[in-house]
Structure 1
Amino acid sequence: MRIRGNPDRVRAVPATSGAPIPARDTAVAPDTLPGAGALRAGQAPGAWPVVGHLPDLLRRPLAFMDSLPAHGDIVRVRIGLRDAYVLCHPELVRRVLTDSRVFDREGPLYEKVRAALGNGLASCPRADHRGQRRVLQPAFHHKRLERYAQVMSVEVETLTDRWRSGQVVDAVDEMFRLTTAVAVRTLFSSDFPAPVAEELRDCLDVFLRGVYTRVLMPAVDAVPSPGRRRYRRALVRWRALVSGIIAEYRAAGVDQDDVLSLLLAARDDSGRPLSDHELCDQVALLVLAGAETTSSALAWCVQLLGSHSDVLDRLQTEADTVLGGSIATWDDLPDLTFTHRVVQEVLRLYPPAWAITRTTVEPVELAGEQLALGSMVICSPYVIHRRDDFFPDAAAFDPDRWQNGHPHREAYLPFGLGANKCIGEAFGLAEATLALASLVSRWHLRPLPTRSSKAAPRSVLAPGSLPVLVDARLPTPRP
């Protein structure tokens, strides 16, 4: 059986598995999932003339996506006058994400991202990916993560030192502020000026709020409006700031032991250094990927813990035992096992990359559906992660489902799959674990009871806003 419907409804589950969490209306599906030879193709109902399913994708995208598995394992939808295919089965998702020769990073989303932030590792097509990944891989080597973790710990302390008991903050903004600072300071060294980092954060925020609408409705850029002007100004300012930083690094000629220094020293397959334009592209996408994905996961952690006191109690107990009131560091990670499971479970329920698109570069058949050249394919981890046949009681927030691994790990893909799998997976997991443990150790974060935060799908799945009351807590000293 699958549970479908509104993800913002609440349902109780046994205390051993967690407290009430956002759940969905139920509908009975076939008792057994079709096997590899019986995957079903279907079509989404309710398309409007001319606009197709655009109203659903703009007004209630998660509920709409959540309804699609009832119609098949690959479901045809209409975006305007164009067909797109949503994959609702992990086997199909795996095929698409691991076969970039047929399913490449082309199409409206990647065109918008490349036009705005450049042809970096997170947006480039197959032809450029292997070379770019080879250049960037040393920056994410395990040996460098310990240094990055030092930056994470410093930035968590810097952020929370600004808080005062009784203050109301927006957890979405605060987590984005934290992770952008970490991304910028690991890229550009700890001496990077704070005002410039703040301006970079603001530019990224404008982009993230605008790109989802522009993918669905490209014509929005043809209509003069304050939003269009703000969007364009932010992108121009972003590129100017990053170009200035690169110029300063080149002029200094000193290895500052950060990611940009590694990129400046890197050479491509022909021995050529990266141009300023290529450097700017890589920096833009690395900051974007490093900031927004982890911040959204942390914001969802705050929201879910606000309604799951049993999980919060266990988190605080672990943080008190391991940290004793200190900010979490790299050396603490092996002992923060429950905190890590909470992060894993939040990434299951609210995967930041909730809809991963690919475009067919040759005709292909998927589950009996014939896809023409240039067809848009949408892989949705959000849909896959909420299937009861792969994650029993999928609507429940249950960190303990990860205690002994998971029998269907192939259905868990918050960081993607294949050659394009997120290069910063270990970075993001370490940052989220360190930040969450530090926050619950020192602070009570109480979402305001009169306000609710619904998902705001854009390029990354994040809450729209999350006002919380912060109160300092006195952790139990470390034994």
Structure 2
Amino acid sequence: MQVAREKSSFDVEAHCAETATHPNFPIEVFRHPTSWPRLDKWLPTARQNALALFPDKVLHEPCSWHSLLGKRLLILSDGDLATQFLKRPSKKAGLSNLHKRILSPAMGDGIIVNDGPEWKTLRRAGLKAASHLKDRTNGRENSILQKHIDEWSIAEEFNLLDRIVPLSIHLLAHRLFGFDGDLPASMILHAIDQHRKIAEDYGFLDAVDAPQWITSDRTTRAKMALAPIRDFIETEISEAQLKNQQLFSQEITVDFIINMMSGYESVAITSTWLLAHIGNEPSLKRWLMAPNISEDEFKDRLTKAIKETLRLYPPLPFIFRKAKENIKLGGFVIGKGTTVCVSPYLIHHNTLNWSEASSFDPSRFERSDNNYSCFLPYGVGARKCIGQNIGNELIFQLVKSVLRNGDLKLSKSDLPKPRAGISLRPSEPIYTKYLANAGE
């Protein structure tokens, strides 16, 4: 299918034909190397872009084996195999040391990195809280969106992600603990940027899958960088309690709130990638904003576009587990002690799982020729992200508000490639201007 092109004059008949056609266009994907990196290149490669750790063959095979300092590593690129593995109980396939070491600086001891006896208690409380929070909506979220977007229209050219991050945090803070004030954007952005850089500063102990109790100063530095955000959350929770607003059960700690707040990254990154493609690809915006479509049809179209964005840019690019015993899977045996990498990014880009894997095609989510068990942007099994419904809802609200209030005009027509660290951010800033609709 050809990509629709903008016209110099308005053609009603052609416009109606285009709006009825699903957009389908190639995207700029990361070019994987032809081989695994040498041992001395592992750390520099991981710090620069972790996607480069994996050779191109993993995008065309169901699984691949590798060895790092004598330790076995299995990469599962087949969605069905990955799903079967992640659904194994934790006593058979638990969190790997690598998983804990990578995410602990960002998540503390909360539910995402916890695999102790208290995890089930945290999980049950978290699911209950997430169900409650999904219904905690009011008109204030629309006011928050409008305030931020109004500021975009009077700004000069700006980095899209830098504007969407504080907006995402603001929306989550309101949903989680009723925050109604003005977000200290510069302080929050600085703390987040410093914290992310520290958390992604992988070291030798991470490469060798060292136990978490063998510590480095990275966790300490990450906690110090996170302190302003933790203080902000603790203050707001205390004020809510003073107002007799008991938001959570006693099992829900500040660590849990921080883990839930980390969902801002999923909201911000997914919204940024989708809005960047909308601003860069006229056919996508024409399809989403076609005249005379019903609200239900608009919701259906935007939901498909969000799913396709999550497929191409899953928020958590890598999940690591360790086999605690020999595990039979798909006709082979995963030996005890093997580190298993389940990468939503690799699975979502694997040509065995998806037709036209490197194209942006929302229509794939209404066809039967793709294996949708291979769609796992938020993980799968007992440790699947409990905030995914809230996250998707906020992404929908954010993108909808941006679309209906104006137009993004990107400075460059070529979007950057993704860069994998803790999450899947653009490798370069995406600069844009925002032109408000007439009368706004």
Taking structure 2 as the reference length, the TM-score comes to 0.81
Structure 2 CA distance for partners of 1:435 and 1:418, relative to 1, 3 Å: same
Any idea what SS the aligned residue of 2:200 has? Answer: helix
Structure 2 CA distance for partners of 1:14 and 1:211, relative to 1, 3 Å: same
> Which residue of 337, 340, 343 corresponds with 2:300?
337
Equivalent-residue separation in structure 2 for 1:280 and 1:359 (angstroms): 28
Equivalent-residue separation in structure 1 for 2:188 and 2:124 (angstroms): 27
Contact 1:97/1:103, CA 8 A, preserved across alignment: yes
Equivalent-residue separation in structure 2 for 1:292 and 1:55 (angstroms): 24
Equivalent-residue separation in structure 2 for 1:215 and 1:430 (angstroms): 36
Once the 2 structures are TM-superposed, how far is the Cα of residue 291 of structure 1 from its aligned partner? 0.1
The AA in structure 2 aligned to 1:383 is L
Once the 2 structures are TM-superposed, how far is the Cα of residue 106 of structure 1 from its aligned partner? 3.4
Aligned to 2:117: 127
Aligned to 1:18: 23
Equivalent-residue separation in structure 1 for 2:41 and 2:69 (angstroms): 5
The AA in structure 2 aligned to 1:117 is M
Aligned to 1:355: 318
Contact 2:269/2:424, CA 8 A, preserved across alignment: yes
Aligned to 1:235: 226
Any idea what SS the aligned residue of 1:86 has? Answer: strand
Mapped pair 1:433 → 2:396: yes
The AA in structure 2 aligned to 1:210 is I
Once the 2 structures are TM-superposed, how far is the Cα of residue 68 of structure 1 from its aligned partner? 3.5
Mapped pair 1:391 → 2:329: no
> Which residue of 97, 101, 110 corresponds with 2:86?
97
Contact 2:105/2:223, CA 8 A, preserved across alignment: no
Once the 2 structures are TM-superposed, how far is the Cα of residue 362 of structure 1 from its aligned partner? 2.6
Q: 1:6-405 counterparts in 2 under 5 A? A: 13=2, 15=4, 16=21, 18=23, 20-23=25-28, 45-48=35-38, 50-51=39-40, 53-65=42-54, 67-69=56-58, 72-79=61-68, 82-99=71-88, 100-114=90-104, 116-125=106-115, 127-141=117-131, 144-148=133-137, 150-164=139-153, 167-192=156-181, 194-195=183-184, 199-214=187-202, 218=206, 231-250=222-241, 252=242, 254-255=244-245, 261-263=246-248, 266=249, 273-274=250-251, 279-288=253-262, 290-317=263-290, 335-367=298-330, 370-404=333-367
Equivalent-residue separation in structure 2 for 1:317 and 1:129 (angstroms): 47
Aligned to 1:466: 430
The AA in structure 2 aligned to 1:74 is C
Once the 2 structures are TM-superposed, how far is the Cα of residue 247 of structure 1 from its aligned partner? 4.3
The AA in structure 2 aligned to 1:110 is K
Taking structure 1 as the reference length, the TM-score comes to 0.75
Gapped regions of structure 1 (runs ≥ 5): 1-11, 28-43, 256-260, 267-272, 323-331
Any idea what SS the aligned residue of 1:378 has? Answer: strand
Aligned to 1:258: none
The AA in structure 1 aligned to 2:271 is L
Bigger mean CA deviation after superposition, 361-370 or 171-180: 361-370
Equivalent-residue separation in structure 2 for 1:89 and 1:179 (angstroms): 32
Structure 2 CA distance for partners of 1:149 and 1:291, relative to 1, 3 Å: farther
Gapped regions of structure 2 (runs ≥ 5): 5-20, 208-213
The alignment yields a C-alpha RMSD, in angstroms, of 3.5
Structure 2 CA distance for partners of 1:212 and 1:103, relative to 1, 3 Å: farther
Once the 2 structures are TM-superposed, how far is the Cα of residue 367 of structure 1 from its aligned partner? 5.0
Equivalent-residue separation in structure 2 for 1:97 and 1:216 (angstroms): 27
Identity among equivalent positions (%) equals: 20
Structure number with greater CO (CA < 8 Å, separation at least 6) is: 2
Bigger mean CA deviation after superposition, 366-375 or 342-351: 366-375
Structure 2 CA distance for partners of 1:71 and 1:80, relative to 1, 3 Å: farther
Structure 2 CA distance for partners of 1:79 and 1:246, relative to 1, 3 Å: farther
Structure 2 CA distance for partners of 1:149 and 1:216, relative to 1, 3 Å: farther
Equivalent-residue separation in structure 1 for 2:148 and 2:31 (angstroms): 41
Any idea what SS the aligned residue of 1:304 has? Answer: helix
Structure 2 CA distance for partners of 1:17 and 1:123, relative to 1, 3 Å: same
Structure 2 CA distance for partners of 1:82 and 1:474, relative to 1, 3 Å: farther
Structure 2 CA distance for partners of 1:52 and 1:367, relative to 1, 3 Å: farther
Bigger mean CA deviation after superposition, 360-369 or 425-434: 360-369
Structure 2 CA distance for partners of 1:223 and 1:459, relative to 1, 3 Å: closer
Q: 1:436-451 counterparts in 2 under 5 A? A: 436-449=399-412
Any idea what SS the aligned residue of 2:117 has? Answer: helix
Equivalent-residue separation in structure 2 for 1:246 and 1:348 (angstroms): 35
Any idea what SS the aligned residue of 2:153 has? Answer: coil
Any idea what SS the aligned residue of 2:157 has? Answer: strand
Equivalent-residue separation in structure 1 for 2:313 and 2:398 (angstroms): 18
Contact 2:47/2:202, CA 8 A, preserved across alignment: no
Structure 2 CA distance for partners of 1:23 and 1:163, relative to 1, 3 Å: closer
Equivalent-residue separation in structure 2 for 1:190 and 1:246 (angstroms): 9
Once the 2 structures are TM-superposed, how far is the Cα of residue 462 of structure 1 from its aligned partner? 1.5
